[in-house]
Copies of this chain bind each other. A is one copy, B any other.
Amino acid sequence: MLTPILSSASCSWTPTSQFPHSWHSSPSFLTKPLNLPFTESYKTAKRPTPNYSFKVQAMIEKEVAVSHKPDAFLRESDMGSNVTSNSSSVRGRFEKMRREAQDSVCLAIEKADGGAKFKEDVWSRPGGGGGHSSVLQDGAVFEKAGVNVSVVYGVMPPEAYRAARPTDNGNVKPGPIPFFAAGVSSVLHPKNPFAPTLHFNYRYFETDAPKDAPGAPRQWWFGGGTDFTPAYIFEEDVKHFHSVQKAACDKFDASFYPRFKKWCVDYFYIKHRDERRGLGGIFFDDFNDYDQEMLLSFSTECANSVIPAYIPIVEKRKDTPFTDKHKAWQQLRRGRYVEFNLVYDRGTTFGLKTGGRIESILVSLPLTARWEYDHKPEEGTEEWKLLDACINPKEWI
């Protein structure tokens, strides 16, 4: 049974076309609208997002630190009792995927770092769900590397359900909609200014039928992406990174890479500077207009592509000699990373407002960052080339 976990403080529910990309310990998916009823048709047209605005109860329950790392945060009672076996299976398999992604990325990072170990923090919430942050800090290769996983149970207000089904004319008045969500997210900041920062997150969301309307349609969606943020452009690195993303996408649909590359460019936009955070990758959200099994496989493929997309670049650049000038430029770009995450990232800003686990939310911030007044790279320099590519996004492959 899905148990409500939300407590009483309220926050504004303002769905927009920019959905949260980050996955922390907070239910950032609450900022996205429900599109009920869900469709399982393959390649249906994208449905328009309903235009509504109302309040939700969105202060999340306080987490409790636990000393052991559970095999899964998914409760056994939710694996097959009052949900269909197919749904249970997707939940269960997504849980397995996010666990394997965390384990494999942490292993690969420790191996690349050559000595430092991840610190593990595990917590649970009395009402169900929990999270796990793995953080490696001040290693030989990585300044800060964090991998978060989180499972959240909660309820959506019935207004969300009604607003998303306007054709019912208010005749359907179910109770709160129970939901389940799970995800993995990570930000990896290397020390060497020629080795790029990497971010990825993959998440799965599912609603149950309202208790008093057991036959009502349920909803599910996938979201996620992998993007990277170099301080200097090595064209072979950028081509390699994007090629791996494209290969993962092309296994499923030729339209995915161009569509999700553009979405990534649009999302990681620092509006007040009119520049992107980095050199992109892929990003998708609110994604349920393909077969559910296919999208689980697609998300798994994307998560499995993180290591082959990123580790070879880090291995190649981690020992490149650099000067103080290179380091200062990397630190300035890290400052931009901070600006994006604190000002625009919907997962971060929502997490800060709703009382998520702050240390997990802000593990995405670099160990160190820099702001120089009115810094302008000289035209034609390597620094200028990076900035130009952030201002004028390019096709790399």
A residues bordering B, Cβ < 8 Å?
A: 119, 121, 133, 135, 137, 144, 146, 271-273, 331, 335, 338-339, 342-343, 349, 352-353, 355, 358-359, 361-363, 365-374
CA distance A361 to B331 in the complex (A): 19
Which of A338, A363, A373 has the most chain B CB within a 10 Å cutoff? A373
Closest to A358 in B: B272
A135 surroundings in chain B (CB, below 8 A): 373-374
| Selected contact of A370 from candidates B272, B339, B367, CB within 8 Å | B367
Extra 13 A-B pairs, beta carbons < 8 Å, given A338-B342, A369-B370: A135-B374, A137-B372, A137-B373, A144-B371, A144-B373, A146-B373, A331-B368, A339-B342, A343-B352, A367-B371, A368-B369, A368-B370, A369-B371
A119 surroundings in chain B (CB, below 8 A): 373
CA distance A91 to B362 in the complex (A): 44
Least Cβ distance of A361 to chain B in Å?
A: 8
Least Cβ distance of A299 to chain B in Å?
A: 27
A369 surroundings in chain B (CB, below 8 A): 338, 368-371
CA distance A271 to B353 in the complex (A): 8
A366 touching B371 by the CB < 8 A rule?
Answer: yes
| Selected contact of A363 from candidates B273, B342, B361, B373, CB within 8 Å | B373
CA distance A278 to B351 in the complex (A): 23
B121 touching A374 by the CB < 8 A rule?
Answer: yes
- 5 residue pairs of the A-B complex, CB under 8 angstroms, read A272-B353, A331-B368, A342-B342, A366-B371, A367-B371
Least Cβ distance of A32 to chain B in Å?
A: 21
Least Cβ distance of A380 to chain B in Å?
A: 22
Least Cβ distance of A343 to chain B in Å?
A: 5
A355 surroundings in chain B (CB, below 8 A): 272
Closest to A331 in B: B368
Closest to A364 in B: B371
A370 surroundings in chain B (CB, below 8 A): 367-369
CA distance A373 to B371 in the complex (A): 21
A361 surroundings in chain B (CB, below 8 A): 272
B273 touching A358 by the CB < 8 A rule?
Answer: yes
CA distance A384 to B374 in the complex (A): 35
Which of A135, A338, A370, A374 has the most chain B CB within a 10 Å cutoff? A374
CA distance A271 to B373 in the complex (A): 28
Known: A365-B371, A368-B368, A372-B137. A352 touches B272 (CB 8 A): yes
Least Cβ distance of A192 to chain B in Å?
A: 18
CA distance A349 to B374 in the complex (A): 19
A373 surroundings in chain B (CB, below 8 A): 119, 133, 135, 137, 144, 146, 359, 363
CA distance A271 to B349 in the complex (A): 12
Closest to A369 in B: B369
A133 surroundings in chain B (CB, below 8 A): 373
CA distance A146 to B373 in the complex (A): 9
CA distance A293 to B135 in the complex (A): 57
Which of A335, A367, A369 has the most chain B CB within a 10 Å cutoff? A369
Closest to A339 in B: B342
Closest to A362 in B: B371
CA distance A217 to B358 in the complex (A): 48
CA distance A23 to B45 in the complex (A): 48
Closest to A119 in B: B373
A273 surroundings in chain B (CB, below 8 A): 358
A331 surroundings in chain B (CB, below 8 A): 368
CA distance A272 to B358 in the complex (A): 7
CA distance A95 to B146 in the complex (A): 50
CA distance A331 to B338 in the complex (A): 14
Which of A146, A331, A335 has the most chain B CB within a 10 Å cutoff? A335
